[in-house]
């Protein structure tokens, strides 16, 4: 039995290049969010893309995993900031999400830079989104204590 199941719905109207879509989250936290092919491949123009949503999911999941790891190490964070950059590239056979870059900054009283960097690198092992992407997407972690 699953710990939790989450749902989202999407609707698309028209062809790929000239069509448009929208999605909603089952939780009600977001509804009728617009998506287009142009937003995905050219520029957002006030719309989102699957890659942006994956970046948001990864950033928030990684924050939780790192917070848990820091707490277990005896240094719970004051604040964590994760910026995730998800890259969509042309590859042989089509397009693919190729990289996810995580820029991690943290305020962690009592922890030195080396320990924070190691804990951040290891946090992916406890992050379900990192684990889902591992082996298919190149994930990098740039971690530093906030100044």
The band of 1, judged by pLDDT with boundaries at 50, 70 and 90, is: confident
Mean pLDDT of 126-146: 96
What is the domain range of residue 136?
50-145
Mean pLDDT of 42-56: 93
Question: Does residue 1 lie in a domain region?
Answer: no
Mean pLDDT of 61-71: 97
123 and 59 within one domain? yes
14 and 68 within one domain? no
Question: Does residue 3 lie in a domain region?
Answer: no
141 and 78 within one domain? yes
Quote the pTM value: 0.93
Domain count for the chain: 2
The secondary structure of the chain, three-state, reads: CCCCCCCEEEEEECCCCCCEEEEEECCCCCCCEEECHHHHHCCCCCCECHHHHHHHHHHHHHHHHHHHHHHHCCCCCCEEEEEEEEEEEEECCEEEEEEEEEEEEEECCCCCHHHHHHHHHHHHHHCHHHHHHCCCCEEEEEEEECC
Question: Does residue 24 lie in a domain region?
Answer: yes
54 and 20 within one domain? no
% of the chain surpassing 90 pLDDT: 95
Supply the pLDDT for residue 147. Answer: 75
Q: Out of 37-46, 71-80, 130-139, which region has the weakest mean confidence (pLDDT)?
A: 37-46
Model confidence at 121: pLDDT above 80: yes
Question: Which CATH number does the domain housing residue 129 bear?
Answer: 3.30.300.20
Mean pLDDT of 68-85: 97
60 and 28 within one domain? no
104 and 35 within one domain? no
Supply the pLDDT for residue 144. Answer: 97
Model confidence at 7: pLDDT above 80: yes
């Amino acid at each position: 039995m699953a710990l939790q199941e989450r749902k989202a719905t999407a609707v698309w109207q028209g062809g790929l290049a000239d069509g448009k879509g929208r999605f909603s989250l089952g939780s009600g936290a977001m509804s009728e969010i617009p998506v287009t092919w142009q937003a995905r491949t050219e520029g957002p123009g006030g719309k989102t893309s699957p890659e942006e949503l994956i970046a948001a999911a990864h950033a928030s999941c990684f924050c939780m995993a790192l917070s848990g790891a820091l707490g277990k190490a005896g240094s719970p964070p004051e604040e964590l900031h994760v910026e995730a950059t998800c890259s969509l590239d042309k590859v042989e056979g089509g397009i693919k999400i190729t990289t996810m870059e995580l820029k991690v900054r943290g305020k962690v009283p009592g922890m030195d830079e080396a320990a924070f960097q190691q804990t951040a690198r290891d946090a992916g092992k406890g992050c379900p989104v990192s684990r889902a992407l591992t082996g298919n997407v190149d994930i990098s972690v740039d971690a530093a204590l906030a100044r």
